[in-house]
Amino acid sequence: MPFESLTEKLQKAFKLLRGKGKLTEKDIKEAMREVRLALLEADVNFRIVKNFIQTVTEKSVGSSVLESVTPGQQVIKIVHEELVSLLGSSQSMLTFAAKPPTVYLLIGLNGAGKTTTAAKLGLALRKQGKHPLLAACDIYRPAAVKQLQVLGAGIDIPVYAPTGKEAPEQIAKQAIAFADKNHNDIVILDTAGRFHINDELMEELQRMKKQARPQEILLVVDAMTGQDAVAVAETFNEKLGIDGVILTKLDSDTRGGAALSVRSVTGKPIKYAATGEKTSDLEAFHPDRMAERILGMGDVLSLVEKAQQVFDEKEALAMEKKFRENDFNLEDFLSQMKQIRKMGPIKSLIGMIPGLSQIKTDDLEVDDSIFLHMEAIINSMTIKERRNPAILNSSRKKRIARGSGRNIQEVNKLIRQFDDMKKMMKDLSGMAGKGRKGRFGMPFMKF
C-alpha cells in the first residue's frame, strides 16, 4: 500500500501528542524529531525535510495551538496542511491546445514505465471524451513499438508506428499529421529512455520538443527510486522544462520519498499516479487526498469515485430495491463481487477507508483470489440454487464443492457470508431510505 511505512511511523509520532491534554514546546519538538526521522527514512530529500519540520514547528509552538482545547489535533492539522502544500496544494489538470491535436511528450529513464503510462494516459483521456493516438517514438528498445501496439489494441486506441528507419522527431511529426488527418484530438508521444541521463538522450528530446511543439512535457518517474527520482526530475526540468510529473509504481512504494520531494524540487505538479498494472490504474493526483492517505485518514472521495466508475446508477437502484424487498440472491451477489473486483485490489481499497487505513495490510489476511474461489462456487450451482439458496442441502453442497474444486467448509462459509450480508444490507438500505438518495450499492465483504 502506498506510504504504508511512512504512515505507520507518523502515527507513532502523533501518539506522543494525542495522549496529552496540554502540550509544551518540548513535547512538540520531541514529536517533530520523530516526524523528521520518519520522513528521512521514507527517502524524502533532506533539504525538504529540514524546511518542513522548521515550518511545522514554528506554527505549532504558537500560543493559539498550545493553549487550545485539543493542541495535539491542532498540530496534526498543521502537519496535514504543510503536507498538502508540499504535494502541490491543489490538483493540477492537463491543459489542451486551442487547436487540436494536443500533443503530450512523455519522457523519462528506462524502466520508469513510459510505454505503459502512454496507454494508461490514453485510456484516461478517452474516458473524458477525447480521441487519442499513441505514437511509438522509441526506436531503440527491442519490442518497444510492439509493446505499445499490443497495449493500444487492448484498449482500442490507435497506435502510429514508424514504417522505416525514421528518426524519433520525424515519427513525431508524422504522427501529428496522421492525427490531424484522422480526427485524433490527442497525440501521446512515447519516447526512448536511457539507464542514465546523457547528452545524446537530451539532444534527441530537445529535437523532438522543437519538432512536435508539445502542449505539455510529462516526466514519467518511478516512485520506488526515491531520491534518485528527484535528481532525475531536477535534471530533466533544467534541460527540457517539464510541465508535470506522472508517478508510476506508487502502489509498490511504501516509503513515499519521490512523491513528497519531486514537486518541491522541480516546482512542477504531479498530475497523475499509476496505482497498478492494469491500463485503467491511473489516478488524477489530488494533493489533499494524498496527504490524508499519508496521515492514515483514508481517502473516501477517491473510493467513492472508483465505485461510481464501475457501479451503474440504474443497476445500483435496482439492487437497492432487491435488498429492501429481500429479493437479493446469489446471482446478484456474484454480480456485486465482479463489480468490486473492477475497483482494484482489496488492500488498496482498505487504505482508502478511514480507520482501516491505519491497519498494516501485511497483517491482514486479505487475498484477492478469494473472489475467484467464491465465483467458482456460485458458478457450480444450478440457476435454481443461485436464485433460491434456501434449497441448498447437504448433498447439493457436496456436489457444488466437487464441481468448484473447493471444500465443503468453503461452501458453507460462502452461504453464511451471503446470509449475513443480505441481512446487513437490508437493514442499511432501510435506514438509508429514510435519508439521502443517490447511493450506489457496494456490499462489505467479510474475509
Lowest mean pLDDT among 140-149, 209-218, 255-264: 255-264
* Residue-level pLDDT at 28: 85
Instruction: Give the CATH number of the domain where residue 247 resides.
Output: 3.40.50.300
How far apart CA 171 and CA 181 sit, in angstroms, is 15
Statement to judge: residues 176 and 118 lie in one domain: yes
How far apart CA 8 and CA 359 sit, in angstroms, is 9
Domain stop point among 33, 53, 87: 87
Statement to judge: residues 127 and 237 lie in one domain: yes
Strand partners, 274: 282
Statement to judge: residues 215 and 364 lie in one domain: no
Q: Provide the pairing of β-strand 132-136 with 102-107.
A: unpaired
What dihedral angle (degrees, nearest 10) is formed by the CA atoms of 82, 83, 85, 87?
A: 170
* Residue-level pLDDT at 263: 86
Per-residue pLDDT tens over the stretch 144-157? 999 999 999 999 99
Statement to judge: residues 257 and 326 lie in one domain: no
Statement to judge: residues 116 and 246 lie in one domain: yes
Instruction: Give the CATH number of the domain where residue 356 resides.
Output: 1.10.260.30
Residue 86: CB partners within 8 Å, gap ≥ 6?
Answer: 48, 52, 260, 263, 264
Band (pLDDT 50/70/90 cuts) for residue 442 is: very low
Statement to judge: residues 106 and 225 lie in one domain: yes
Q: Does some domain include residue 168?
A: yes
* Residue-level pLDDT at 21: 67
Per-residue pLDDT tens over the stretch 86-122? 888 888 999 999 999 999 999 998 888 999 999 999 9
How far apart CA 119 and CA 282 sit, in angstroms, is 10
Opening angle at CA 293, ends 292 and 296, nearest 5: 90
**CA quadruple 188, 132, 345, 370: dihedral sign:** negative
Band (pLDDT 50/70/90 cuts) for residue 379 is: very high
How far apart CA 276 and CA 250 sit, in angstroms, is 8
Domain stop point among 279, 297, 315: 297
CA distances from 406 to 115, 338, 369, 375, 416 (A): 40, 19, 13, 11, 16
Statement to judge: residues 131 and 166 lie in one domain: yes
Q: Does residue 290 surpass a pLDDT of 80?
A: yes
How far apart CA 216 and CA 94 sit, in angstroms, is 8
Q: What is the total residue count of the chain?
A: 447
Range of the domain at 31: 4-87
**CA quadruple 49, 52, 58, 61: dihedral sign:** negative
Task: Specify the number of domains making up the chain.
Answer: 3
Q: Does residue 286 surpass a pLDDT of 80?
A: yes
Query: What is residue 95's three-state secondary structure?
Result: coil
Statement to judge: residues 288 and 183 lie in one domain: yes
* Phi, then psi, of 430 in degrees rounded to 5: -65, -40
Q: Tell me the three cell numbers of residue 6.
A: 511512512
Instruction: Give the CATH number of the domain where residue 33 resides.
Output: 1.20.120.140
Q: Does some domain include residue 445?
A: no
Q: Does some domain include residue 447?
A: no
Q: Does residue 80 surpass a pLDDT of 70?
A: yes
Q: Inter-axis angle of helices 257-266 and 46-60, to 10 degrees?
A: 90
Q: Provide the pairing of β-strand 270-274 with 282-284.
A: antiparallel
DSSP secondary structure of 128-165:
TT--EEEEE---SSTTHHHHHHHHHHHTT--EE--SSS
Strand partners, 133: 187
CB atoms within 10 A of CB 378: 20
Q: Does some domain include residue 97?
A: no
Per-residue pLDDT tens over the stretch 221-243? 988 877 777 888 888 999 899 99
Statement to judge: residues 197 and 308 lie in one domain: no
Q: Does some domain include residue 193?
A: yes
Share of the chain above pLDDT 90, in %: 36
Q: Inter-axis angle of helices 71-87 and 257-266, to 10 degrees?
A: 60
Per-residue pLDDT tens over the stretch 21-35? 677 888 888 888 988
Q: Does residue 443 surpass a pLDDT of 60?
A: no
Alpha-helix residue ranges (DSSP H) falling in 252-379: 257-266, 287-294, 300-310, 313-324, 330-342, 346-350, 369-379
Statement to judge: residues 133 and 231 lie in one domain: yes
Domain stop point among 297, 324, 353: 297
Q: Does some domain include residue 92?
A: no
Statement to judge: residues 163 and 50 lie in one domain: no
Per-residue pLDDT tens over the stretch 61-74? 876 666 665 777 78
* Residue-level pLDDT at 180: 94
Q: Tell me the three cell numbers of residue 50.
A: 529540514
The rounded mean pLDDT for the chain is: 81
Q: Does some domain include residue 96?
A: no
* Residue-level pLDDT at 174: 95
How far apart CA 374 and CA 338 sit, in angstroms, is 11
Statement to judge: residues 10 and 159 lie in one domain: no
Per-residue pLDDT tens over the stretch 155-164? 999 999 988 8
Among candidate residues 236, 284, 232, 291, the one with its CA nearest the CA of residue 45: 232
Q: Does some domain include residue 15?
A: yes
* Residue-level pLDDT at 419: 82
